[in-house]
Amino acid sequence: MRLHSGRAALFVSTVLALSLSSVEPAVSVDLKVAAKSTVRAFQDLAKNILDQKNTLEDEHTKNRAEIDQELLSTVSKASTTQQIDLSAVASFYNPKISASNEALAGAKAKWETVNTLVIKDSYGFMGSAQSFATKYFLCPPSTLPNGAGWMEIVKRNCNGSQNPMIGTRSTKTTVPNTIGGEDWQKGDVGTLNTWDLPTEAQSVITDGYIVPTNPTLFDSIRLTIRNEMNNVNSLMKSSATAKANAQTKYDNTVQAAKDSANKAIQFENNRYEEEFEKLELSQLEAEIFILAAKRASKDYKTFGKAFETALKFEHNRAELNRLAEMPWSGITGLRALNTLTKVIALADLADEISMKYTFVTAAKINASVGNTFTKDSAFTASLKLGRSIYVKTIKS
């Protein structure tokens, strides 16, 4: 059967209309789903970046704790080593010092039994005997040379006297009398107030004006005292040096560990701050992607173009506001002021459009600005990343 040409045309147009009405909704639904999927993809990107920030934070905390623990461990080991070193010093020197001190104490005790001298010449050369006795003899107790019925006598010149003063009333005589004084006499035995006699005093003994009651032990014990004192001083000095060396060793080890820890902390802090800053920028970028994708979803049939328009708009708006907020010091003339006034007006307009965003008004702002800001390499890379995520999403 052949149809009339007019009816045939009507049939064809009706069929085409029905077929188009059945296909277009399907295509539209697919594009709307793709737009929503793209938004979710960017939201997943933002979530992934947030997870990376949390991971970075955990790593930073862990690394700092490990650095601190390493420092504590090194200090603890250094302290243990120091205690071992000090114990070794004590084990080596303390017995020697103790033995030498015992020998010194023994020699000093013996000295008390041989520290007496006899005056052989009461005057000596130029009064050297009297001068010697005055400086180095201890004051003997007062005497009653002629009995209690006469006078109590004390030495005029001596050391550490516990006798009453010359001229005071005597308590030892049987008749009232004052205390008298006398010089050192030939044959008197004096007790030395020191074992360490200077050269000029030693010469009086050498010349025979005053002689030890026990010459052999007098010299040998003094020599022993001198040697043991020198030995004790030497051992104490060596012990102190060894202790100081142990302390220096500890201090150097701890300081080196602290320096190393400080360098490690500085490196770790720099690494953390750099990575955190990158993630902060990535997070901001992802948030802008989400905003642009949501805006572009209103025009899902041309989502790709709408998405790039929204990205460019937000970047241009941010840059316009940055210029508008520049300090007045950058204004060098009326033309610059006029230009800034236009920039401020454009920035305010962009802010208004951002509150009631449409593809058409955003495109107008972009056209007004041109590629002044969007030719920036950082934005170009960001646009490329956003586009790649969008393309990957709609293909999946």
Structural domain contains residue 145: yes
| pLDDT (mean) for 248-253 | 97
Binned at pLDDT 50, 70 and 90, residue 96 comes out as very high
Task: Give the per-residue pLDDT at 16.
Answer: 28
Instruction: Answer yes or no: is pLDDT of 90 > 80.
Output: yes
Structural domain contains residue 151: yes
β-strands 210-212, 116-119 pairing: antiparallel
Structural domain contains residue 298: no
What is each CA distance from 98 to 34, 232, 238, in whole angstroms? 93, 9, 14
| pLDDT (mean) for 2-10 | 33
Backbone φ, ψ for residue 89 (5° rounding) = -60, -45
Structural domain contains residue 213: no
Structural domain contains residue 384: no
Instruction: Answer yes or no: is pLDDT of 212 > 80.
Output: yes
Structural domain contains residue 339: no
pTM of the entire predicted model: 0.68
Structural domain contains residue 152: yes
The domain of 179 spans 121-208
Residues sharing a CB contact under 8 Å with residue 83, sequence separation 6 or more, in sequence order: none
What is each CA distance from 341 to 7, 245, 315, 324, in whole angstroms? 66, 74, 20, 8
Binned at pLDDT 50, 70 and 90, residue 329 comes out as low
User: Taking Cα atoms as reference points, which of 47, 51, 29, 52 lies closest to residue 290?
Assistant: 47
In the chain, how many domains are there? 1
Give 51: exposed, middle or buried? Use CB within 10 Å, 0-12, 13-18, 19+. Answer: exposed
Structural domain contains residue 227: no
Task: Give the per-residue pLDDT at 15.
Answer: 27
